[in-house]
Amino acid sequence: MLSVFCSPSRYVQGRDATRNLGVEIDALGLGKRACLIASNHAIKHLELTWEETLTEANISYALTEFSGECSREEIDRIKDIAAEYKAELIIGAGGGKVLDTTRAVASELNLPVVNCPTVASSDAPCSALSVVYGEDGEFDSYMFYKRNPDLVLVDTSVIAKAPVRYLVAGMGDALATMFEAKTVIAAGKKNQLGGATTISARILAEACYQILIADSIEAIESVNNRAVTPALERIVEANTLLSGLGFESGGLAIAHSVHNGLTTLHETHDFLHGEKVAFGLLVQLVAEGKGLDVISPILEYSSEVGLPLTLSDIGVNDLDRERLRKVAERSVKEGETAHNEPFEVTAAVIFDAILTADSLGRRFRESEVVEAAISKA
Ligand SMILES: [Zn+2]
C-alpha cells in the first residue's frame, strides 16, 4: 500500500484575512471571474470587504446568496449561475453547508475553489470531501472530489464574532482526530485517500490534540469577548487545518461512524457534527478497551469546554434499546470507518460501548456535582 498525504494548495489565516482574498487569488492565478456563494450572515459582514479586495485585484464576481441546504437542487442552481457568468473560479463563504456546496459545484465544473469558513466548527474546509445528508437529516454518504481546495482563507475576526458553540463543536471534531488516526495506523488500515498514513499526518494529528489541551479555555474566553488572541488563532488552526489534514490523511475510525449512526435519531439533528463526534470518541475509546487513564482526561476536557459527555447531552433522552440498536447497526454499515479498527467491529460491540460510554459520562457528571457540594461545605 502506498502512503498518501493531501492538503489544500494554500492556507491563509488571521485577523481581517478577508482583506487579502483578492491578492491571494491573484498570487495563485486562480482566475479573474468568480462565482461567489455566501451565507446571508457572511454577506452582511463581508460584502464591502469583498468589493474592495476583489476589485483591487481586478477580479469580477457574481455574488449569490446560499439557499440554506446543500442539496442536489442547490448545487445545480449555482452551477447554472456559474456557467452563465463564465466563472473561472468558485468562492464559498459561510458555514459547513455553504462550503460543501461550493466544493461540489467547483468539482463538477472542474474549476478552482476557494473556501472561506466563517465558523471553526469542523475540519471539512481543507478537505477534498463533503458529508452528504438526506432530506431527513440522516447521514447519507461521503462525496469525494478530485482535488483539495486551492485556497482556504480563514478570517479570525469573523470567527471571533460567531457564537462560541461553533468553536467548541470544532474542538469536538478535532479532539477525535489523533485518536482515530492512531487507530488507523495501529491497524495498518487506509486513510480517507485509500493510502497508508504518513509520518506527517500522524504528527499533525498529535499537534492538534496538544493545542486543544493547552489553548481551548483561553480561546473560548476570546470568543466570549469577540476578541482575536494568539490562543484563538492556535485553536482555529487546530480545528481547521491540523484536524483537516489529520483526519483526511490520517484516517477515521469508530468516532465518526458513531456520529453517522447517531444521525438516525431525529433528536440529534439539532446538535452539530463535532458535538456528536465528541460522544463518538468516548464510544470508540470504550470499544477499544482503553482504561480510565485515557478516558478520564477526555471526560474532564469535554466537561470543561462544554462538549457532550452523555447521550442526553446530544438530545437522546429515551434510551430505548431497539432505537440504540439501530444506531449501532448504522455505525457498522459496509464502508463505515468503524471497520478501520484492528479488531472486528459488530453492532453488538458498538451497542455495548454506547451504553457504557453514556454511563461513564453520567458518573463523571455526578462526581463533579459531589465535588462541588464538598467544596461548598
Ligand atoms: Zn468530522
Which CA distances in Å does 150 have to 29, 162, 163? 10, 25, 28
Q: Please state, rounded to an integer, the average pLDDT across all residues of the chain.
A: 95
- What is the tens place of the pLDDT at every residue in 121-178? 999 899 998 877 776 777 877 788 989 999 999 999 999 999 999 999 999 999 999 9
Residue 136: what pLDDT?
Answer: 74
Residue 70: what pLDDT?
Answer: 80
| Whole-number Å distance between alpha carbons of 256 and 338 | 8
Distance 319 CA to ligand 1 centre (A): 25
- What is the tens place of the pLDDT at every residue in 272-321? 999 999 999 999 999 999 999 999 999 999 999 999 999 999 999 988 99
- What is the tens place of the pLDDT at every residue in 189-208? 999 999 999 999 999 999 99
> Is residue 346 very low, low, confident or very high in pLDDT (cuts 50, 70, 90)?
very high
Amino acid letter, 40: N
Residue 248 has pLDDT above 80, yes or no: yes
Distance 77 CA to ligand 1 centre (A): 27
Residue 129: what pLDDT?
Answer: 85
Distance 278 CA to ligand 1 centre (A): 10
Distance 351 CA to ligand 1 centre (A): 21
Residue 205: what pLDDT?
Answer: 98
Residue 64: what pLDDT?
Answer: 97
Residue 144: what pLDDT?
Answer: 87
Contacts of 92 (CB under 8 A, 6+ apart): 36, 37, 38, 98, 99, 101, 102, 103, 113, 114, 115, 116
Amino acid letter, 169: A
Distance 177 CA to ligand 1 centre (A): 8
Q: Which sequence positions are flagged as catalytic?
A: 173, 256, 259, 273
Amino acid letter, 123: D
Distance 23 CA to ligand 1 centre (A): 30
Tell me which of 356 and 146 has the higher pLDDT: 356
Distance 345 CA to ligand 1 centre (A): 20
| Whole-number Å distance between alpha carbons of 44 and 27 | 27
What does the pLDDT average to over 38-67?
97
Helix (H, G, I), strand (E, B) or coil at 62: strand
Asked if residues 18 and 52 have their Cβ atoms less than 8 Å apart, the reply is no
Distance 122 CA to ligand 1 centre (A): 6
Residues lining ion ligand 1 (Cβ < 5 A) are: 173
> Is residue 371 very low, low, confident or very high in pLDDT (cuts 50, 70, 90)?
confident
The conformation of residue 29, written as its DSSP 8-state character, comes to T
Global pTM reads 0.95
Structural domains of the chain sorted by starting position, each given as residue range(s) with its CATH number in brackets: 10-159 (3.40.50.1970), 164-376 (1.20.1090.10)
What does the pLDDT average to over 357-371?
93
What does the pLDDT average to over 195-224?
98
| Whole-number Å distance between alpha carbons of 130 and 303 | 29
Residue 275: what pLDDT?
Answer: 98
Residue 219: what pLDDT?
Answer: 98
